[in-house]
Structure 1
Amino acid sequence: MAHDFSADRKLLPQCTADQIHALLNWDALAAALTEAFLAPPAVPTRHAHALMAPGASEPANDVLLLMPAWNAQHIGIKLVTVLPEAAKHGGHTVDASYLLLDRLTGAPRLLLDGESLTVRRTAATSAVAARALARPDADTLLVVGTGRLAAWMARAHVALRPTLRRVLVWGRRRESAEQLADTLRAEWLGAEWLDAGSTITVQAIDSLEQGCSEAQIISCATTASEPVVRGAWLTPGTHIDLVGAFTPAMREVDDEAVLRAVLVVDDYAAALREAGDVLQPLANGTIARDHLQADLREVLQGVHPGRRHADDITMFKSVGHALEDLAAASLVFDRLASQ
């Protein structure tokens, strides 16, 4: 029986993390994201508000982020809280919810778990970018980082690129890298979507430099404040995916890596406001503004060719775009409505 989204507003349907992961299969999500980038919805600048107590004079560490977007059918807004002390009260440092409203009436339609929506759309967007920018014969993926997002980056890249047959995992703690490798290996053993007789090798590694030299796609999902990947380690033809660093003070790659790469971002304004991997080499003169060659929309539309030569090093810097949330939430809504 289809969901009744016209029911009493007090009974706003909610979509859990498990439902979101079940409804957003990688192929359908990639198609929805590609469509959104080709014909982008209205996406205002995200807002960040310091949650200062009334009358307080000191800057607040607590932050509320608002990420709105809308198209002809829906209005969506992601509400993100960053509360460093939340764990003391049983919460998470970063938490998120996504509210989807009807574009014509303004009525709330669906409340979605924000974290699952975010990790799913972030990973799928990077895989979409890699399909456009990485070499078509890429068979080895290196995942740098072992946090909550890292596993989803691996899942999306492998699901959306059939040529990948080897996944390397590096983390600052070998134990964490081994745990992530074990998790992925167990998931992919005999997976139905794999070609008959095909397997995917998953291996935790100690040498990040060696991993960078062996992988054709490198996906960084860390919270590093200093570069972990060096440009000198990159071989011609590599594609680098940067999703972890999300403030001007954070970096995952050094100046040489940025200088050597064809640099593409998900959103110009956000990258030039928040991405330390872009802002720091701009500030120190390593690159000029025109080194930031395209956003993902321009690559998908063919306005910019992305990779011109097999030996090009390409780099996709993802800061996070509200159109990705709206595309994913809209797809969840449509699939629930058809059940």
Structure 2
Amino acid sequence: MPTPALLDAAATAALLPYDRLADAIEALLADASVQVPARLVQPLPGGGSLFVMPALDACVAITKLITYTPANVGGPRPTIQGDVVVFDVANGERRLVLDGPTVTARRTAAVSLVAARHLAPAGVQGPLLIVGAGAQGRSHLEAFAHGLGVRDVRVASRSAASVEALVAHARHLGLRAEAVRDADAAMAECPLVVTCTPAAGVVLRATPRPDQFIAAVGAFTPKMVELSPDLCRHIANHGRVIVDTRDAEHEAGDLLQAGLEVVGFADLRQVLRDGGATRRGPVLFKSCGWAGWDLAAARCAMRG
């Protein structure tokens, strides 16, 4: 039996270019053979969680096995650690073992990119405001630069060192980039916004611009939050709220804490199926995560 390829972060990233990964996500949402059982989230002593996330289609089955450890924020160890194991459905062989944090970062940013393709103002290329300068901030910076042509970036974070590192990375990519202290004030200049913080408290409160597209990815449990209730309710009343999947109905802390009926919001599959709708007001795309996105990454990686 052949030994499966055990890929590190760099090798995993090389198989998941953002534009191709975004295309794989759109293809997965149109594939009737895809099955995604409910994920297991097991609380761990000390405040962490163990995630077991299976998914499959007619050819490939995967399980993402990761730990999420909020206590690691700001330390030498990442908050997300683990692997994505990829199996051949026909013969049961284990084909790939992908680096879990890399898959998580890149597929989350690619999902936001898909949403922006269909929901952000046509042709907009920034400025992009990124609130949260960790792994997700970096992946969203890269995805929006490569996939939307963003050339101008503003970065806000509670960690000055993280902001400096992400601004430096943006400039290395040839982008105009600057640190901002007041994320709410920066919203007035940025039609594109991404929030990707540890979601321990509200980071955006300002009333959004009528043409604003906000991708909020940090909060993925009912108790987590990045956006103020007033901001969420404003967009629900004056624009559109889209969720990544129906799982957001019990996971989207930002929306649930705002008292919104999440069941009434369209998901990304509906947006792609219906071809979008005439834009009216700001758009909030609330992403909570789904093993289907990891399956899309595995399918993309299998194609090489």
Would the TM-score normalized by the shorter structure come out above 0.5?
yes
1:30 matched to 2:22? The reply is yes
1:78 matched to 2:64? The reply is yes
Pairwise CA distance, 1:83? 5.2
Deviations 1:14-62 (A, max 9, x none): 12211111121122111111111222510111112345xxxxxxx7745
Candidates 185, 190, 214, aligned match of 2:189: 214
Q: Secondary structure at the match of 1:149?
A: helix
Structure 1 residues 162-173: aligned runs within 5 Å: 162=149, 164-173=150-159
Candidates 252, 256, 259, aligned match of 1:279: 256
Change (3 A) 1:227 1:111: same
1:140 matched to 2:127? The reply is yes
Q: Secondary structure at the match of 1:95?
A: strand
Change (3 A) 1:244 1:84: closer
Structure 1 residues 193-212: aligned runs within 5 Å: 200-212=175-187
Structure 1 residues 1-339: aligned runs within 5 Å: 7-8=1-2, 11-39=3-31, 41-50=34-43, 61-82=47-68, 92-138=78-124, 139-162=126-149, 164-186=150-172, 188-189=173-174, 200-232=175-207, 234-261=208-235, 262-269=240-247, 271-282=248-259, 287-289=260-262, 292-302=264-274, 305-306=276-277, 308-309=278-279, 311-335=280-304
Distance in 2 between residues matched to 1:80 and 1:38, nearest whole Å: 27
Pairwise CA distance, 1:216? 0.5
Cα RMSD after superposing both structures: 2.2
Q: Secondary structure at the match of 2:20?
A: helix
What residue ranges of structure 1 are gaps of 5+ in the alignment? 1-6, 52-58, 190-199
Distance in 2 between residues matched to 1:178 and 1:92, nearest whole Å: 18
Given that residues 231 and 253 in structure 1 are in contact (C-alpha distance below 8 angstroms), is that contact kept between their aligned partners in structure 2?
A: no
Number of aligned positions between the proteins: 296
Of stretches 42-51 and 116-125 in structure 1, the one that deviates more from structure 2 is 42-51
Given that residues 231 and 258 in structure 1 are in contact (C-alpha distance below 8 angstroms), is that contact kept between their aligned partners in structure 2?
A: no
Distance in 1 between residues matched to 2:60 and 2:266, nearest whole Å: 28
What residue ranges of structure 2 are gaps of 5+ in the alignment? none
Distance in 2 between residues matched to 1:83 and 1:182, nearest whole Å: 27
Of stretches 116-125 and 18-27 in structure 1, the one that deviates more from structure 2 is 18-27
Pairwise CA distance, 1:94? 3.0
Q: TM-score, normalised by structure 2?
A: 0.90
Pairwise CA distance, 1:92? 4.8
Distance in 1 between residues matched to 2:77 and 2:189, nearest whole Å: 40
Distance in 1 between residues matched to 2:217 and 2:59, nearest whole Å: 29
Distance in 1 between residues matched to 2:121 and 2:194, nearest whole Å: 14
Distance in 1 between residues matched to 2:216 and 2:72, nearest whole Å: 27
